[in-house]
C-alpha cells in the first residue's frame, strides 16, 4: 500500500482500466436481474418448443439434419442467446442517461477501455447464457459429433458472435443515446437470424430465402456450429464460420470505438 | 494553473448557430479561488466543460496545469477533479464502490484506494452511508459524494460548476467550508455560481459573464469600488410605482422589485436630489436607504441593465 495522502502519479494501465470497468458493469447487470432473465428464458423456451415441434417429425430424415433434431436446433438457441450481448449497449445507454458516462470521459481513461469494457460485459453474458443452454441441451440428449471439444467450439463461436453483437449494440446505443432506439436497433437480429437455414437445412429453403441466406453471416455461423454437432471436425465449415463471425465482430467493434471517440471530441 | 485565451464555443451551424462562448480570456493563479459569475445561459458551464476536456472549443485555446486541453487531454484529466452541475452517478453503485473504483482508475493500488475512499467518506460525512446504493441517497448526499469523487486523486485543480445550486442553506454552508479548507491546502479552484453571495464569500477573483463574454473582472472589492461608493435604495409601494419612480429620476435608476436603486459616488447629494424628483412627480416613498454597494449591484449593472451603461 502506498501513501493515500498524496496524489497517484499516473492512471491505471489500460488492462486494469478494462478489468475494473467490466467488473463495475457486471455488478450493475447483476443488480438488475429482471433485464437479463427474460432473454435466457426465451432461449430455453425455443429449445423446448422447436425440439418438441420438429424433433419427432419427418424433418429428422432430411439430409443434413443427421437424425437427432436436438443437435440441429441447439446451435440456433445458442445463437439466440447471443442477443443478450445487446445488454452491452443498453448498459452504456443507462450510463449516458445518468451522466456517469460523461464522468468517465472526464477521467484519464482510454475511450477504447470504456467501450471494450461494455463489449466484454456483453460477451460474458452471452457466454454464460450459451453455457447454460448447452448444458440443458446435453441433458436433453444432444450428442456433439466432435465431442467435448465440439461443445467448447460451440461456446467459442457464441462468444465471438456475442462480441460482434455487443459491438453493434454499443455503437447504436452511443450513437442514439436513447434506450428505446438502442433496443429497437437490436431487432436487426431477427432478419439476420431467420433469413438463414434455421429450422431446415439450406437445400430445403425457398429459393429467395436461399439467395439471402447465402450472403447472411448467420448462415455460416450456424453451419459451423452444426458441423461440430452433427459431422465432427470439418475444417471448411469452421473456417467459414470464423471468417463470418470475425468480420462481423471487427466491423462492429471498430464502429463502436469510432462512435465513442466522436462522442468525446464534439459532443 | 489555468490559462484561457480567446476561448470560443459555437453550437450548431449557419442560421441556427448559438454562440455560447464568444472569446473569453482569464487566468487563475495557483492556490486561487476564481469565481465565474453569471445568470443561466451566460456561458459559464460551457467554459468549464471545455476546460474539463468534455467539449472541444470552436476557437482559442486553454491550458490546465500547463497542459493544452486539445493536445494533452489525458494529462489535463489527471490534473483536475470536477463536480459538475449534473452529478452523473450510477444509482445501482454503492458510494464506497464508486470512490474505490475511481481511486484505482486514477492510479492507486487496491489498498491505497480503499484507505483514500474511507478518508473521503468521512470528510464529506458519508461514512455510515458508503455501503448503500447511490439510488437511495438524497440530493445533498449525492452532491457531497460527487465532491468526494472529485477529490479522490488529490487534484491540484478543482472545477466546481454551481456546486450549491438547489441545496439547502446548511448543505451550502458545508460545501463552502470544504472549499475554504481546500484553498488552505493550496488547491486551485474554478467555481461557477449564480449566487453573488457565494462568489463574494469564497472567491479571490471574480469574472462576471454575460452573453458568452466576460463583462467585468477583478477582486470582489475592486468590482464594488468600480460601482461608485454608495447606493441609494428607495422602497416603493409596488413594482408599477417603482417603474414610475425610475422614470422620474432618470436612466441612472434601476428597478429592482419594488425598489429603485441608484449608484453614485456622492450618495448624500444624490439622495437629496432623488427625494426632490420623487416629490415633484407626486410619488411617496415607503422607505429610503443609503448603503455601500454589494456584488449584487455590480452584477445587475452589467447584466440586467447593461445597455444603460455601454
Asked if A88 contacts A166 with a C-beta cutoff of 8 angstroms, the reply is yes
Tell me if B301 is assigned to some domain: no
Q: Does A61 touch chain B (CB under 8 A)?
A: no
| Same domain? B134 vs B156 | yes
B282 and B188 within one domain: no
User: Do B80 and B100 fall into the same domain?
Assistant: yes
Q: pLDDT at position B82, please?
A: 94
Whether residue B150 sits in one domain with residue B63: yes
β-pair partners for B192: B36, B161
Domain range spanning residue B283?
A: 228-292
**Average pLDDT of chain A, as a whole number:** 86
In a shared domain, residues B44 and B114: yes
Dihedral, A261, A264, A266, B3 alpha carbons, nearest 10: -130
The complex's ipTM?
0.84
- Is B310 within the bounds of a domain? no
Question: Given a cut of 60, is residue B307 above it in pLDDT?
Answer: no
Q: A residues 23-52 near B, CB within 8 Å?
A: 24, 27-28, 31-32
Answer yes or no: do B133 and B282 share one domain. no
Could you read off the pLDDT of A207-250 as tens digits, one per residue? 888 888 888 888 999 999 999 998 889 999 999 999 999 999 99
What is the domain-level CATH number for residue B262?
Answer: 3.30.70
pLDDT tier, A204 (very low <50, low <70, confident <90, very high otherwise): confident
DSSP A122-168: HHHHHHHHHHHHHHHHHHHT---TTHHHHHHHHHHHHHHHHHHHHHH
Determine phi and psi for A141, rounding to 5 degrees.
120, 10
Helix then strand then coil, % of chain A, to nearest 5:
80, 0, 20
Query: Is residue B121 located within the same domain as residue B181?
Result: yes
**Mind listing the pLDDT tens digit for each residue in B165-189?**
888 888 888 888 889 999 999 999 9
Q: Which chain B residue has the Cα nearest residue A110?
A: B74
In a domain, B302, yes or no: no
Domain tally, chain B: 2
Report the phi/psi class of residue B186: left, alpha or beta, with left for phi > 0 and alpha for psi in -120 to 50: left
CB–CB contact A20 B86 (8 Å)? no
Q: What is the pLDDT of residues B225-265, one digit of tens each?
A: 766 667 888 999 888 889 988 888 888 888 888 889 887 77
Cell of B228: 461608485
Q: Grid coordinates standing for B145?
A: 459524494
Kindly report the backbone phi and psi dihedral angles of residue A194, in degrees, each rounded to the nearest multiple of 5, phi listed first: -90, -10
Supply the CATH number for residue B211's domain: 3.40.50.300
Give the Å distances, CA to CA, from A77 to A84, A190, B72, B116: 12, 13, 48, 47
Q: Report pLDDT for A177.
A: 82
A261 lies within 8 A of chain B by CB: no
Distance from CA of B2 to the nearest CA of A (A): 17
Question: Do B92 and A109 make contact, defined as CB atoms within 8 angstroms?
Answer: no
* Euclidean distance between the first and the last CA atom of chain B, given in angstroms as a whole number: 32
- B43 and B130 together in one domain: yes
Tell me the nearest-neighbour CA distance from A7 into chain B, angstroms.
5
User: What sign does the CA torsion over A55, A59, A60, A66 have?
Assistant: negative
Among B219, B250, B277, the domain-final residue is B219
Q: Which residues of A155-171 are buried (b: 16+ CB within 10 A; e: fewer)?
A: bbbbbbbbbbbbbbbbb
Q: Which tens digit of pLDDT belongs to each residue from B45-92?
A: 999 999 999 999 999 999 999 999 999 999 999 999 999 988 899 999
Last-in-domain residue among B219, B253, B284: B219
Helix (H, G, I), strand (E, B) or coil at A175: helix
Q: How many CB pairs under 8 A join A and B?
A: 107
User: Is residue B105 located within the same domain as residue B209?
Assistant: yes
Amino acid at each position: 500500500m502506498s501513501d493515500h495522502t498524496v496524489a497517484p502519479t499516473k492512471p491505471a494501465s489500460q488492462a486494469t482500466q478494462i478489468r475494473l470497468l467490466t467488473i463495475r458493469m457486471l455488478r450493475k447487470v447483476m443488480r438488475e436481474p429482471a433485464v437479463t432473465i427474460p432473454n435466457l428464458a426465451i432461449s430455453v423456451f425455443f429449445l423446448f418448443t422447436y425440439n418438441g415441434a420438429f424433433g419427432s417429425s419427418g424433418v429428422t430424415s432430411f439430409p443434413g439434419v443427421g437424425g437427432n433434431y436436438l443437435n440441429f436446433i441447439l446451435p440456433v438457441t445458442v445463437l439466440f442467446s447471443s442477443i443478450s450481448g445487446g445488454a452491452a449497449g443498453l448498459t452504456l445507454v443507462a450510463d449516458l442517461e445518468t451522466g456517469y458516462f460523461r464522468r468517465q470521459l472526464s477521467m484519464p481513461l482510454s475511450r477504447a477501455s470504456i467501450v471494450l469494457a461494455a463489449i466484454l460485459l456483453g460477451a460474458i453474458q452471452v457466454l454464460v447464457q450459451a453455457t447454460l443452454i448447452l448444458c440443458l441441451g446435453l441433458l436433453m440428449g444432444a450428442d456433439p459429433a466432435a465431442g467435448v471439444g465440439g461443445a467448447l467450439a460451440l461456446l467459442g463461436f457464441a462468444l465471438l458472435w456475442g462480441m460482434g453483437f455487443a459491438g453493434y449494440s454499443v455503437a447504436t446505443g452511443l450513437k442514439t443515446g436513447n434506450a428505446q432506439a438502442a433496443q429497437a436497433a437490436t431487432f436487426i437480429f431477427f432478419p439476420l437470424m431467420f433469413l438463414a437455414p434455421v429450422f431446415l437445412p439450406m437445400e430445403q429453403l425457398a429459393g429467395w430465402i436461399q439467395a439471402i441466406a447465402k450472403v447472411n453471416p448467420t448462415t455460416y455461423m450456424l453451419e459451423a456450429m452444426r458441423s461440430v454437432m452433427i459431422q465432427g471436425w470439418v475444417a471448411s465449415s469452421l473456417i467459414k464460420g470464423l471468417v463470418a463471425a470475425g468480420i462481423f465482430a471487427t466491423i462492429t467493434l471498430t464502429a463502436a470505438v469510432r462512435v465513442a471517440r466522436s462522442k468525446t471530441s464534439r459532443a | 494553473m489555468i490559462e484561457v485565451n480567446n476561448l470560443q464555443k459555437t453550437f450548431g451551424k449557419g442560421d441556427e448557430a448559438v454562440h455560447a462562448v464568444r472569446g473569453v480570456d482569464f487566468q487563475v493563479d495557483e492556490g486561487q479561488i476564481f469565481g465565474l459569475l453569471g445568470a443561466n445561459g451566460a456561458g459559464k458551464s460551457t467554459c468549464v466543460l471545455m476546460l474539463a476536456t468534455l467539449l472541444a472549443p470552436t476557437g482559442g485555446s486553454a491550458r490546465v496545469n500547463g497542459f493544452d486541453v486539445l493536445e494533452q487531454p489525458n494529462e489535463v484529466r489527471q490534473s483536475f477533479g470536477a463536480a459538475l452541475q449534473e452529478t452523473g452517478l450510477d444509482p445501482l453503485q454503492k458510494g464506497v464502490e464508486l470512490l474505490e473504483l475511481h481511486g484505482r482508475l486514477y492510479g492507486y493500488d487496491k489498498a491505497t484506494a480503499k484507505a483514500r475512499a474511507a478518508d473521503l467518506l468521512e470528510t464529506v460525512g458519508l461514512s455510515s452511508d458508503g455501503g448503500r446504493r447511490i439510488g437511495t441517497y438524497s440530493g445533498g448526499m449525492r452532491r457531497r459524494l460527487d465532491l468526494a469523487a472529485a477529490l479522490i486523486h488529490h487534484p491540484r485543480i478543482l472545477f466546481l460548476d454551481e456546486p450549491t445550486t438547489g441545496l439547502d442553506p446548511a448543505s451550502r454552508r458545508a460545501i463552502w467550508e470544504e472549499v475554504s479548507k481546500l484553498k488552505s491546502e493550496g488547491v486551485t479552484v474554478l467555481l461557477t455560481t449564480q449566487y453573488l453571495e457565494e462568489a463574494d464569500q469564497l472567491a479571490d477573483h471574480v469574472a462576471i459573464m454575460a452573453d458568452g463574454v466576460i463583462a467585468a473582472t477583478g477582486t470582489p472589492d475592486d468590482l464594488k469600488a468600480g460601482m461608485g461608493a454608495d447606493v441609494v435604495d428607495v422602497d416603493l409601494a409596488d413594482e408599477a410605482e417603482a417603474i414610475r419612480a425610475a422614470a422620474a429620476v432618470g436612466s441612472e435608476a434601476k428597478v429592482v422589485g419594488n425598489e429603485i436603486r441608484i449608484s453614485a459616488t456622492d450618495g448624500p447629494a444624490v439622495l437629496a436630489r432623488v427625494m426632490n424628483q420623487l416629490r415633484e412627480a407626486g410619488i411617496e416613498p415607503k422607505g429610503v436607504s443609503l448603503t455601500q454597494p454589494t456584488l449584487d449591484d455590480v452584477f445587475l449593472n452589467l447584466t440586467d441593465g447593461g445597455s444603460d451603461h455601454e
